[in-house]
Chains A and B, each alone.
Chain A
């Protein structure tokens, strides 16, 4: 194993971690503010990928089609989630967690069927635009340009999230509502709309993750199940409701997976799960502070 392949694997692992982070940050934000363990989050990620595919193909599979898909697909997901929130979720926040778990599970099944009806069971794919095809050399390693792009987008999203949570009024209100929603109401804030906004933002991130992953995978039914399990593990080891915990968890997951590929390729997928077990043995409540 030489240094070049080591750093290639590391960078690929990190770029995959960026997608995980974007999806998990959304899941964790919803967990923190609304206290809803949203199993349908993976389905929204899948819808993001399929929507990106549809927008991309409608625009002649061009480069500009990709960029538009990247912007519009998360908005489509945000719209779907807004409808779901106003029609269903907003009546259920008082329920206990088990009920919410069952409810979001049901929503996942419904969304999966809707995806099957809309896009069919075939595999779809999206092409990255020209400037993101091919590879670049970094640190003596060759890295696909698209992965480099992900390595740039991930931190950008993190910065935007940080600014949103810490500098905007709605971000501050979200942090307050995560801990004491009743008191937020008592100071004159309509918590119902804060929750709607937080839910939509979290789901937007799921859609963004789906759109970003689209050129790197074959888009198909079932991609939601893979990600939702990983996502729940990641937010658990990071600390439920802590979006920086989602970042740490995603990095652990992505990097251990890529080292697994180097060390023992057939069983690469075991490595991140082993890392999860170790983290949870050492810190059962997750690495960073949880609001739960």
Chain B
């Protein structure tokens, strides 16, 4: 589904990603773990075309996509949930979803109704302004908004950050549901426990380089690596 190969990304002159390589197969949840400032967000932004890499290649469904504009990538089926949510504050919850809606040729696909079935809490606040939501509500809305674009691949940046433990579990259930619905997910997380519960595959990034990769069972057993890069 997604193959990232040796990408180098810069913010202005500062070199952030040093040849990041990773792979996400269709139907998997893959997590990208790392400490603060390791480069998780930058990796997701590079894939989404928000900070296009200067070198390396990104292939999505076999097609080279690096350097493409974000709106085209969204139309090709990549949904992006930023770590800081970036809800459109002036728009109501419903409007946030409407403007992100993208009709599929077939009739199936996500609609406001279907999204509300996954996140019933959003239905009750449909007419509230995005700027007046709690952090957890914003998180849900950010995911719901990405779903409205009918993505095949979801880039989730720290969905559990700042949520109460109960909500973390609830959100994990929802992400599992999305996986059952056929979605592929690349998950950037600091919350290692939550990520290990959800994922099939894991990558550890540190200082802009991938330091470890493997199945989730291997990662669970490999305490040394976890201590070294994740401090847990």
Stretch at the interface among B9-17, B89-97, B205-213: B89-97
Which of A172, A180, A186, A291 contacts B71, CB < 8 Å?
A: A186
**Smallest CB separation, B19 vs chain A (Å):** 25
Interface-facing stretch out of A6-14, A187-195, A199-207, A247-255: A187-195
Query: Closest approach, in angstroms, between the C-beta of A225 and any C-beta of chain B?
Result: 33
B91 touches A175 (CB 8 A): yes
Which label, helix, strand, loop or mixed, suits the secondary structure of the B interface?
helix
Q: Are B70 and A182 in contact (CB under 8 A)?
A: yes
Q: Is the CB of B80 within 8 A of A186?
A: yes
In the bound complex, CA of A182 to CA of B145 (Å): 15
A186 touching B70 by the CB < 8 A rule?
yes
Q: How large is the interface on B (under 10, 10 to 19, 20 to 34, 35 or more residues)?
A: 20 to 34
Q: Dominant SS at the A interface?
A: helix
CB-contacts of B47-95 with A (<8 A): 48, 50, 69-71, 74-75, 80, 82, 86, 88-91, 95
Q: Measured between C-beta atoms, what is the minimum distance from B139 to chain A in Å?
A: 15
Interchain pairs with CB closer than 8 A, number: 59
Bound CA–CA A52/B36 (angstroms):
61
- Give the shortest distance, in Å, between B103 (CB) and chain A (any CB): 11
Q: How far apart are A63's CB and chain B's nearest CB, in angstroms?
A: 43
Asked whether, in the complex, the Cβ of A176 is within 8 Å of the Cβ of B91, the reply is yes
**A179 at interface by CB-CB < 8 Å:** yes
In A55-82, which residues have CB < 8 Å from any B CB? none
Bound together, the chains give a CA A175 to CA B88 distance in angstroms of 8
The 26 listed contacts between A and B (C-beta, < 8 Å) are: A172-B95, A172-B98, A173-B99, A175-B88, A175-B90, A175-B91, A176-B88, A176-B90, A180-B88, A182-B50, A182-B70, A183-B86, A184-B88, A184-B99, A185-B69, A185-B70, A186-B82, A187-B80, A187-B145, A187-B146, A188-B75, A188-B100, A188-B102, A189-B99, A190-B71, A191-B71
Which 8 pairs across A and B sit closest by C-beta, in order of nearness?
Answer: A188-B74, A176-B88, A187-B100, A185-B70, A183-B86, A185-B71, A186-B70, A175-B90
Residue ranges of B at the interface with A (Cβ–Cβ < 8 Å): 48, 50, 69-71, 74-75, 80, 82, 86, 88-91, 95-96, 98-100, 102, 145-146, 148-149
Using CB atoms and an 8 Å cutoff, list the residues of chain A in contact with chain B. 169, 172-173, 175-176, 178-180, 182-191, 291
